[in-house]
Copies of this chain bind each other. A is one copy, B any other.
Amino acid sequence: MKKVYFTVGPSQVYPTFNKHIQNATEDNVPSLSHRGKEFKKLFQDTTDNLKKLLNIPSNYQIFFVASALESMERIIQGCVQNYSFHLISGSFGRAWANYASQLGKKVTTVEVETTFDKEIADLEIPKKAEIICITQNDTSTGFWIPPEQIYQLKKNYPEKLIASDIVSSVPFVDIDYKYVDITFFSVQKGFGLPAGLAIIIVSPKTLQKTGTLVKKGVTVGSYHSLNNLSQKAQDFQTPETPNVLNIYLLNMVIKDMLRTGLDKIRKEIDLKAKLMYDFFDSHRIYQPFIKNPQFRSSTTLVIDVKGESEKVRDKLSKKGFLVGAGYGDNKDNQIRIANFPSHTIKNVHQMLKYV
């Protein structure tokens, strides 16, 4: 039976994935030297295409690392001397704050309950905080922070760096990068690729901060410090031998998306999200976990199924549709459904029939 992975990541591969991986194998991409001309061209092409797709300013730099968790670590190391601030709306925001603490930083957090009904922009950020870390779309709760509220925070605290995890909302989320110094994501969600590659996008101000820390003698990491990544990226290289195959695949999928048009992809995600939320809002038992529509994620839907998570997942699985369990303690009470570019409207209709 053909399976459709509605899991929140790793998820369904992009429709063109099989073709691209076959071409990669035929073209010896796994054997390419990461110091050769072909790789440099691939690096430049991929970052140029990503900038085009996501409307990233030309003076922002793009780095390749291995995972979103690594991104969290590198950002803290490269941007924080003493104090970081974390806006937490789920387990991934909490993890980020923990890592900052483990890396020896003084951490302040504000935990936004899933019933939150105020404006994110009204939050008070401690004066000492050098960075504001935000999980724009927390995959564990499906809590979505409207980008405009992040921009307002930046306007309120222009001197602080803003870092935003867009792991499970990219490329759906439309970010105005001039208000966000650092964003990062991994490729096994919205881009429908195998895991093992993540992208960090940084503003010039971010790298200035890293430079200041280096001058002060603060440890900013080693081979993957932001300054080392930046230096290598200027020559279209990475410090280590990177996941060349995944960079190639990412470039191919970005090019596919440029051809389709991101507007169209985003509209389809809107449509699929509406289909699913309408379905669960009018469901007798199963209900969306996030009540306030403005904080509901369109890309990772968390549904409270009242202890029937395993039952629902088994039922769907028998029909070839895989959805995720709730995260951590919510394993039994929730299901999580991805709504990525790889999921078709037809898939969604079919899947909902069997809930």
Please indicate the chain B residues that have their CB under 8 angstroms from the CB of A70 in the complex.
Answer: 66, 223-224, 240
Query: What 1/0 flags go to A221-254 for Cβ under 8 Å of B?
Result: 1111100000000000001111111100000000
Evaluate contact between A30 and B243: CB separation under 8 angstroms. no
Query: What 1/0 flags go to A190-214 for Cβ under 8 Å of B?
Result: 0001111100000000000000000
Please indicate the chain B residues that have their CB under 8 angstroms from the CB of A242 in the complex.
Answer: 67, 195-196
Evaluate contact between A72 and B11: CB separation under 8 angstroms. no
Q: Bound complex: CA of A186 vs CA of B196, how far in Å?
A: 14
Evaluate contact between B69 and A244: CB separation under 8 angstroms. no
Q: How many interface residues does A have (CB within 8 Å)?
A: 59
Once A66-B67, A219-B103 are accepted as A-B contacts, the answer to whether A244 and B194 lie under 8 Å apart by CB is yes
Does any Cβ of B come within 8 Å of A7's Cβ?
yes
**In the complex, chain A residues 136-190 whose Cβ is within 8 Å of any chain B Cβ:** 186, 188
Does any Cβ of B come within 8 Å of A45's Cβ?
no
Evaluate contact between A10 and B34: CB separation under 8 angstroms. yes
Query: What 1/0 flags go to A43-86 for Cβ under 8 Å of B?
Result: 00000000000000000000001111110110010000000000
Does any Cβ of B come within 8 Å of A9's Cβ?
yes
Q: At the interface with chain B, which of A12-20, A121-129, A262-270?
A: A12-20
Does any Cβ of B come within 8 Å of A95's Cβ?
yes
Q: Bound complex: CA of A7 vs CA of B38, how far in Å?
A: 14
Please indicate the chain B residues that have their CB under 8 angstroms from the CB of A29 in the complex.
Answer: 194
Evaluate contact between A221 and B28: CB separation under 8 angstroms. no
Q: Bound complex: CA of A31 vs CA of B197, how far in Å?
A: 14
Evaluate contact between B69 and A30: CB separation under 8 angstroms. no
Please indicate the chain B residues that have their CB under 8 angstroms from the CB of A222 in the complex.
Answer: 69, 72-73, 76, 98-100, 102-103
Please indicate the chain B residues that have their CB under 8 angstroms from the CB of A98 in the complex.
Answer: 222
What would be 27 A-B contacts, judged by CB atoms less than 8 Å apart?
A: A3-B31, A10-B30, A13-B30, A17-B25, A18-B25, A21-B21, A30-B188, A30-B194, A34-B195, A65-B66, A66-B66, A66-B240, A67-B241, A70-B224, A73-B221, A73-B223, A76-B222, A99-B222, A99-B223, A100-B222, A103-B219, A103-B221, A103-B222, A104-B219, A195-B242, A195-B244, A196-B243
New A-B contacts (4) at CB < 8 Å, excluding given A73-B222, A76-B222, A188-B241 = A30-B193, A73-B221, A99-B222, A196-B246
